[in-house]
């Protein structure tokens, strides 16, 4: 089955190419970025001798001629105008941007005016553990953000035990690749190396995404207090969630609850020791650990921000949309050591 990748220059575009090269069913037929006119081996020298395909200037009609499904690894806003065209031409879309993740009001409050109001309501949020049946029938997937993927997978199974009148805190720690390949003071080596700091505390746009999905799935209004930090590593993400339990005499085995919740989900691993970033780097796994101290709850989850937080999760969604097993071509072997 032929697929297209639009937005091949960035990190998530590269990850998609790398995953699809070895995929047993999908064939990369079309790759595009905003300029075209370059071979993919020049664009990404690590691909030399592995895949030989020209990178085109993105054109929706060309996509429709070449592929049944397209991955959009585009910036917010650019993505929705391109998705709109593709959908009208009958191409299925997995959108890695934020453009279809939120309901219209929330989107316009935190991002900008929406340009594809027809489709925003039809988009399925591509968190496979919670929306699998809808994903199978979808034409448009809103692939979750990296922080929401790690946060929701950790928090949702335990939300009923949490006092949602008390603040829920998420201290999230991301590798620098989460900030993309663009040049900025933030991603200069001298700024990141041997350093660590929070950024946009309580103001990151993944905060409403987490809140909205808890509302959709659990019918609870929660206030998520989200503080992202940058780590001096390239890839990987560690999310530390702190919440108040409803009842401090509770003798609940939270590890057991997590295991039961995810017993049929092969890409979630419940750990009995604190999770680390390296055990999930290079994979689609989300590892989760939980501990409690009186009425205080700590949940820690780890993912690869570029894979489970973007490209491999997008591929799981594409597998499901195409009638394949969700796990085909999805990486499990970590970059350890």
Q: Which stretch binds a copy of itself (CB under 8 A): 23-31, 123-131, 140-148, 227-235?
A: 227-235
Q: Which of 100, 154, 133, 151 is nearest to 323 (CA)?
A: 133
The 44-83 site mask, x for binding a copy of itself (CB under 8 A), equals xxx-xxx---------------------------------
Q: Which is nearer to a copy of itself, 118 or 333 (CB)?
A: 333
CA distance 141 to 55: 24
Active site residue 286: no
Is residue 236 within 8 Å of residue 309, measured between CB atoms? no
Q: Which is nearer to a copy of itself, 173 or 205 (CB)?
A: 173
The 304-333 site mask, x for binding a copy of itself (CB under 8 A), equals --x-------------------------xx
Q: Which residues contact 93 (CB under 8 A, 6 or more apart)?
A: 69, 70, 72, 83, 86, 87, 139, 140, 141
CA distance 308 to 317: 11
Q: Which stretch binds a copy of itself (CB under 8 A): 1-9, 211-219, 252-260, 293-301?
A: 293-301
- Residue 218 CB, nearest approach to a copy of itself (Å): 20
> Using CB under 8 A, which of 58, 63, 142, 192 touches a copy of itself?
192
Beta strands at 92-95 and 140-142: parallel, antiparallel or unpaired = parallel
Q: Is 249 helix (H, G, I), strand (E, B) or coil?
A: coil
Q: Which stretch binds a copy of itself (CB under 8 A): 111-119, 152-160, 212-220, 233-241?
A: 233-241
State which of positions 104-163 bind a copy of itself (CB under 8 A).
Answer: none
Residue 35, CA distances (Å) to 178, 220, 224, 264, 323 in order: 23, 45, 39, 43, 33
State which of positions 253-282 bind a copy of itself (CB under 8 A).
Answer: 266, 269, 271, 273-279, 281-282
User: Ramachandran region of residue 94, left (φ > 0), alpha (ψ -120 to 50) or beta?
Assistant: beta
> Using CB under 8 A, which of 242, 257, 322, 328 touches a copy of itself?
242
Q: For Cα atoms 166, 172, 175, give the angle at the middle one, nearest 5 degrees.
A: 175
> Using CB under 8 A, which of 85, 106, 225, 255 touches a copy of itself?
225
CA distance 123 to 115: 14
Q: Which is nearer to a copy of itself, 117 or 232 (CB)?
A: 232
- Residue 49 CB, nearest approach to a copy of itself (Å): 6
Q: Which of 51, 59, 53, 44 is nearest to 12 (CA)?
A: 44
Residues marked active site are found at: 146
């Amino acid at each position: 089955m032929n697929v297209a990748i639009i937005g091949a220059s960035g990190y998530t575009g590269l990850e998609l190419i790398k995953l699809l090269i070895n995929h047993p069913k999908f064939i990369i037929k079309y790759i595009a970025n905003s300029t075209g006119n370059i071979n993919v081996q020049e664009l990404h020298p690590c691909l030399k001798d592995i895949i030989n395909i020209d990178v085109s200037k993105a054109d929706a009609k060309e996509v429709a001629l070449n592929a049944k499904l397209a991955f959009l690894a585009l910036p917010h806003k650019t993505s929705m105008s391109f998705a709109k065209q593709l959908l009208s031409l009958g191409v299925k879309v997995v959108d890695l941007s934020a453009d279809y993740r939120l309901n219209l009001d929330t989107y316009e409050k935190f991002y900008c005016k929406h340009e594809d109001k027809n489709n925003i309501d039809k988009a399925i949020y591509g968190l496979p553990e919670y929306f699998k049946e809808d994903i199978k029938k979808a034409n448009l997937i809103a692939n979750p953000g990296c922080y929401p993927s790690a946060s929701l997978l950790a928090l949702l199974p335990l939300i009923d035990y949490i006092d949602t009148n008390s603040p829920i805190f998420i201290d999230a720690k991301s590798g620098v690749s989460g900030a993309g390949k663009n040049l900025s003071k933030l991603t200069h080596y001298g700024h990141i190396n041997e350093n660590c700091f929070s950024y946009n505390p309580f103001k990151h746009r993944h905060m409403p995404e987490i809140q909205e999905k808890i509302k959709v799935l659990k019918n609870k209004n929660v206030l998520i207090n989200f503080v992202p930090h940058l780590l001096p590593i390239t890839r990987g993400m560690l999310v530390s969630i702190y919440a108040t339990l409803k009842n401090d005499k509770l003798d609940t085995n939270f590890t057991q609850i997590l295991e039961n919740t995810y017993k049929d989900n092969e890409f979630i691993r419940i750990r009995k020791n604190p999770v680390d970033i390296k055990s999930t780097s290079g994979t689609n796994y989300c590892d989760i650990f939980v501990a409690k101290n009186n009425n205080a709850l700590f949940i820690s989850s780890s993912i690869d921000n570029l894979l489970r937080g973007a490209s491999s999760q997008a591929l799981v969604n594409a597998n499901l949309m195409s009638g394949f097993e969700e796990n085909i071509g999805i990486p499990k072997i970590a970059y350890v050591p």
